[in-house]
Amino acid sequence: MAKLIKGRELADNMQEQMRLEVEALKKQEIFPGLVVFLVGDDSASKTYIKNKEIAAQKIGIQSKLENYPSDISEEALLAEIKKYNDNPNYHGILVQLPLPEHIDEEKVLLAIDPKKDVDGFHPLNMGKLLLGKPAAIPCTPYGIMKMFEAYEVDLAGKNAIVIGRSNIVGKPMAQLLLAQNATVTMAHSYTKNLPALAKQADVIVSAIGKGNFITEEFVKEGAVVIDVGMNRDENGKLIGDVKFAEVEPHASYITPVPKGVGPMTITMLMQQTIQACKRQELS
């Protein structure tokens, strides 16, 4: 029977520590601020942003949402980002992805001041991660590393497989695992014999976005299974990439969906906002 990695519980504990840290900063007249840009009306993005606002409020971070119509021009959006780059009251800038097709995502991410990039997606911060000198780290992989730390999962010398190669999760996840001396395999939709390959891994991180894709044939006895998937089944119920009931008996540790990786993603965003604030105000 696998031990459950309780992301919600860990996130709550970390957020309480952050609340105390923010309280101490406020006594020094330092007020951490985060601005979130939402372009359009995507319901999944709105839910995610709502959860960010709740976390920010709980911790005491000043949070502002800038919601623009989906037909905003790229030029106008870049001008808005510049405004907040120059505003010392906001230490973190987050642009909710995906963006409408007429806006160049890369151009938008490049426009954010790397010091205020609390999502870790600016090419400069991605490059630092690749060099093993991270500044800001994409929040989901960062949260997963905190889970390993909290549950004392030793990664050194372990075989890890990351299923999914997105810039948001897969690629940065692989770099963070490498930094902890794991041997990392990157797998994706073109990988042949994926179940057999995954079955050799001591650690599986699935971020493929296919509900119940990872079955017991992927998992060797005693593997650590991290499920990043946020999918809906035919009844609209939230499910992960991992077929939980089938895989759980074979794993040593496993994350649930929901209340697993999700709360940690938001928690690391808050932590990086506080860190950015301290770098900008105290350096």
Which of 6, 115, 119, 175 is an active site residue?
Answer: 119
Which of 15, 96, 175, 272 is an active site residue?
Answer: 96
CA 12 – CA 55 distance, rounded (Å): 9
Residue 157: helix, strand or coil by DSSP?
Answer: coil
Residue 273: helix, strand or coil by DSSP?
Answer: helix
Q: How many CA atoms lie within 13 A of 185 on its CB side?
A: 21
Instruction: Round to the nearest angstrom and report the end-to-end CA distance of the chain.
Output: 48
Beta strands in the chain (DSSP E): 3-4, 33-39, 62-68, 92-95, 159-163, 183-187, 203-206, 223-227, 231-232, 238-239, 251-254
Known catalytic residue: 96? Answer: yes
Judge contact between 48 and 96, C-beta under 8 A: yes
CA 119 – CA 185 distance, rounded (Å): 24
Which of 6, 15, 52, 199 is an active site residue?
Answer: 52
Give the residue among 208, 155, 207, 212 at the shortest CA–CA distance from 184: 155
Strand pairing class (203-206; 159-163): parallel
Q: Is 157 annotated as a binding residue?
A: no
Q: Is 165 annotated as a binding residue?
A: yes
Judge contact between 249 and 26, C-beta under 8 A: no
Residue 165: helix, strand or coil by DSSP?
Answer: coil
Give the residue among 61, 121, 134 at the shortest CA–CA distance from 91: 61
CA 54 – CA 59 distance, rounded (Å): 9
Q: Is 164 annotated as a binding residue?
A: yes
Known catalytic residue: 180? Answer: no
Known catalytic residue: 52? Answer: yes
CA 200 – CA 152 distance, rounded (Å): 21
Binding residue numbers: 164-166
Binding residue numbers for NADP(+): 164-166
List, by residue number, the catalytic residues.
52, 96, 119
